[in-house]
Amino acid sequence: MWRDGPNGPLDDTAAWASNELLVACGAEIGDVAVGRLGQKMGDVGKAVRLAGRVFRAGSVVETVAAAFGDERARLSVFGGAKRAPFPIWWEWELELTPHLEKRMEDRDFTEVDLRLMLEHASSYRAGVSEGRFTVETRLRGRAWEVVVEPDEVEHLLVVVTAYGVDR
């Protein structure tokens, strides 16, 4: 099934093209982590960047959650009309710095909270330090910023710190 954008019509006849065909058309393929339940249900763990948009396979688990009213569930579009697509490093595995781990304790948030903040980020911008980016997001109804630094060699997204923002 396919949904073009969060409010688009649901097409139950659509399916993913093969990776070979997508690459031949100029797309980039990125992996998306699939949880244990998703693996058992056969979820597809890939994102596709094509023509400036990033698409993600509909998750069986997220689709069922959406049917039961979970507003956080997403069916297909990663980015899309609500925000500009994030760079390819957005899909890389996270590495948490010791500084971040200390701040998590000080600022009362967990790795699960951090991953949710990154999952639901609204935008990002170049950071103060070269090579770093500031991600704008929310946690518990408050604005937060998460500072990340892509490691191009190891293909890791290093999370430097995160903090609540008073606006």
Q: Which of 48, 69, 85 is the last residue of a domain?
A: 85
**Span 5-14, pLDDT tens digits:** 556 666 666 5
User: Of the candidates 21, 1, 16, which has an alpha carbon nearest to the alpha carbon of residue 46?
Assistant: 16
Residue 70 has φ and ψ, to the nearest 5°, of: -75, 105
| Same-domain pairing of 127 and 148 | yes
- Please say whether the beta carbons of 22 and 50 come within 8 A: yes
- Domains of the chain: total: 2
Q: Which of 85, 120, 138 is the last residue of a domain?
A: 85
How far CA 64 is from CA of 12, 55, 60, 122, 163, in Å, comes to 15, 19, 6, 24, 32
pLDDT at 114: 93
CATH number of the domain enclosing 110: 3.30.2310.20
pLDDT at 75: 31
How far CA 78 is from CA of 4, 56, 106, in Å, comes to 10, 6, 32
| Same-domain pairing of 52 and 34 | yes
CA gap 73, 63 in Å, rounded: 7
Q: What mean pLDDT is reported for the chain?
A: 75
| Same-domain pairing of 28 and 99 | no
**Span 52-106, pLDDT tens digits:** 666 666 555 555 555 555 544 333 333 333 444 678 888 889 999 999 999 999 9
Q: Which of 29, 64, 85 is the last residue of a domain?
A: 85
SS3 of 82, please?
helix
User: Of the candidates 144, 101, 97, 100, which has an alpha carbon nearest to the alpha carbon of residue 120?
Assistant: 144
The answer to whether residue 164 scores a pLDDT higher than 80 is yes
What is the percentage of the chain residues whose pLDDT exceeds 70? 57
CA gap 49, 55 in Å, rounded: 6
| Same-domain pairing of 61 and 29 | yes
* pLDDT, average across residues 31-50: 62
| Same-domain pairing of 110 and 69 | no
pLDDT band for 160, please (50, 70, 90 cuts): very high
Structural domain for 14, as ranges:
2-85
The answer to whether residue 4 scores a pLDDT higher than 60 is no
